[in-house]
Amino acid sequence: MTLVGSGRCQLSQKPLNAAIRCGNVPTMLDVQCVDFVSVPTRDLARSRQFYADVLGLPASTLNADEFETANVTLSLWQPEAEGVPFTPNTAGIALRVADVESARERLTARGVEFLGDTVDTGVCLMGFFYDPDGNVLILHRRYAPR
């Protein structure tokens, strides 16, 4: 069954057990998918331009501060407008691409500066860069099976 709306989450038709299990460990929630990830910003206009024009992500039809990927929405958020101190996400948001080197070349041509060379972990390739607010973004491609 596909969820109405995003069309990205696939749900099982199986009935839920009283205790959801992950392997042998019971879990408290039946998390179906991740709907959005907050991306802190100090300047919404600058971030909208970066995510739309530099990265080429489609804007949400419902909210100008949200950008869609195949499986999750990136939601721009101004923490300081809510009295929360601004802190960029330095852990990183991994954006799966078909070819890290090709995507890296396209972004470099658009002025993106990468943080060193592409990293090969033995299971995936990763290219790290910052958005205009210092949030770490990662071009990512797994090439080994999970």
Residue 134 falls within a domain, yes or no? Answer: yes
Residue 3 falls within a domain, yes or no? Answer: no
Residue 127 contacts residue 95 (beta carbons within 8 Å): no
Residue 2 falls within a domain, yes or no? Answer: no
Residue 109, SS3 per DSSP: helix
Residue 27 falls within a domain, yes or no? Answer: no
CATH code for the domain in which residue 132 is found: 3.10.180.10
Residue 9 falls within a domain, yes or no? Answer: no
Count of domains in the chain? 1
Locus of tokens 């998390």: 31
Q: Which amino acid appears at position 74 of this protein?
A: L
Pairing of β 25-27 and β 66-68 = unpaired
In tens digits, the chain (146 residues) has pLDDT values of 233 344 565 544 444 444 555 566 777 888 889 999 999 999 999 999 999 999 999 999 999 999 999 999 999 999 999 999 999 999 999 999 999 999 999 999 999 999 999 999 999 999 999 999 999 999 999 998 77
Q: Read off the pTM.
A: 0.81
As a whole number of angstroms, the longest Cα–Cα distance in the chain is: 53
- Taking the C-alpha atoms of residue 106 and residue 101, their distance in angstroms, rounded to an integer, is 9
Range of the domain at 131: 35-142
